Structure 1
């Protein structure tokens, strides 16, 4: 077996393992990648994403696992906290060293956009069709972002305080800067991505605290994040195409 990070291959069912795991057969990947998806009420999008992404990842010869994290409460959505849970739980499953946090409604269009981590946190979906394949503002850092384990620990993960829609990605960008790192972006011609349209979900209304939290990111990043994360696992189930983690994360009133 070639001990190199091979990045060009083909899709094969033999590379596909129960629980959403994939691994190259003819080479040894240098990175072990966990894909974390915060999830609620997106069954149609999840099926589309999974059937598109497994061949995509296998053609890139990835050693990867897919984790779908869903909060059990019928309460305000907390996307950022679910991603912290995904990082924590995936780290217990396998010696992953690269973590890619992805919305279930974004599909990359170019296989040259490698699902790999880099020397800096990476914004993989910086060229979206809904923005005419242009970056709407320079601090945008959402959709699909990649961190090595060390980088994610350095920023203490996401803030756990963003209940509802919006702001957590901008706050994370400020954490990256405060930690002395910079955001890396692939060429926009390579990072072109398609957004699967959907209406805003009930329980995911815009948060009213986002601006305050974003501006305080550098001040609070060492006390709010992975080291303050509290949750309870309801179930940890392996399906054919992914591992599902259902979790109790509390509510915004707690």
Structure 2
């Protein structure tokens, strides 16, 4: 009789203890999950704390630690982290990965990450090490495409490379729903910054450390942006004419305006990025025609882009499915000088 009374009391005591422990755990983790707390941790945590740097490691590799989870920085040396990430979650040939073993059976959105590239080997290595685990934690069905420029043209033709990457990626897999246009030197800091396409064009790199985590201007659409396949075709892609530093993204912003497509963005405390440092004496190939091209952007929007890609003086040298990405090597010949024509004449030419 006495034992029968003790059993319920013991059970109640155990349940009560478990309930108290669960409550304390929830209180603790709720504080850790608080967005403000997370951002303070990312901002104030010393990136080099308890990390042993070897003289063999480059400055770029040291900087990459800034965006690694704090628990990994505290418990492992940098060399051990690199070795632990060598598997990259069993990424398929060509940089393809899916949460489903059978990609064709996956019902998730298919995402193509397009990275334009030239002479950035150190950046590319860090980008791949960071992005594969990041994208896999989000459970994305994705492929990373690296579009590399070579040839006679000295100016970097970013818009043209994006158009080539878009076209070749759809040849590789016509079922892509979403395209992420990504600078190789930008690394996302927060897993909540979802790499997906929204109903409207989506600008992801809202807050970059180089610019004090502030949006530099309202119409900014550069750095990291997302467009679904139908929107990119509607916009006629990027302009093919910008070869040299700057303004191709502002040209795209004008195309968005022309088609009444508003830019949407995640919250700035989530859309935070680390910009990898560049060589101090690295030359910048300024585009002397960019002001003229911007002034005539709306007049050329229908004809300059995907529509005239076949006449853009380029050729695809090779497409190679490497271990961590699909490499598209693009030869761009020396571009002819751009003739400055009055916008009204451009408009008449396009209507004929």
> Which TM-score applies when normalising by structure 2?
0.66
Corresponding position of 1:106: 186
Corresponding position of 2:116: 38
Residues 174 and 218 in structure 1, CA contact (< 8 A), matched pair in contact too: yes
Question: Offset at 1:146?
Answer: 0.4
- Classify 1:91/1:139 alpha carbon distance in 2 versus 1 (closer, same or farther; 3 Å): same
Corresponding position of 1:240: 323
Counterpart among 279, 291, 303 of residue 211 in structure 1:
291
How does 1:37-186 map onto structure 2 within 5 Å? 37-74=115-152, 75-94=154-173, 95-186=175-266
Whole-angstrom distance in 2 between the partners of 1:240 and 1:76: 29
Question: Offset at 1:29?
Answer: 4.6
Question: Offset at 1:54?
Answer: 0.3
> Bigger radius of gyration, 1 or 2?
2
Residues 15 and 58 in structure 1, CA contact (< 8 A), matched pair in contact too: no
Whole-angstrom distance in 1 between the partners of 2:166 and 2:151: 20
Question: Offset at 1:71?
Answer: 1.6
> Which TM-score applies when normalising by structure 1?
0.91
Question: Offset at 1:31?
Answer: 1.1
Whole-angstrom distance in 1 between the partners of 2:260 and 2:107: 28
Q: Secondary structure at the match of 2:241?
A: coil
Whole-angstrom distance in 1 between the partners of 2:113 and 2:89: 20
Whole-angstrom distance in 2 between the partners of 1:190 and 1:235: 37
- The number of residues matched between the two structures is 243
Residues 128 and 324 in structure 2, CA contact (< 8 A), matched pair in contact too: yes
Whole-angstrom distance in 2 between the partners of 1:29 and 1:101: 23
Q: Which runs of 5+ in 1 are unaligned?
A: 1-10
Larger RCO (CA under 8 A, 6+ residues apart)? 1
Residues 159 and 221 in structure 1, CA contact (< 8 A), matched pair in contact too: yes
Q: Deviations over 1:90-142 (max 9, x none)?
A: 01011211011101000000010111001011110011001101011111110
Q: Secondary structure at the match of 2:119?
A: coil
Question: Offset at 1:13?
Answer: 5.3
Whole-angstrom distance in 2 between the partners of 1:253 and 1:113: 41
Question: Offset at 1:14?
Answer: 5.5
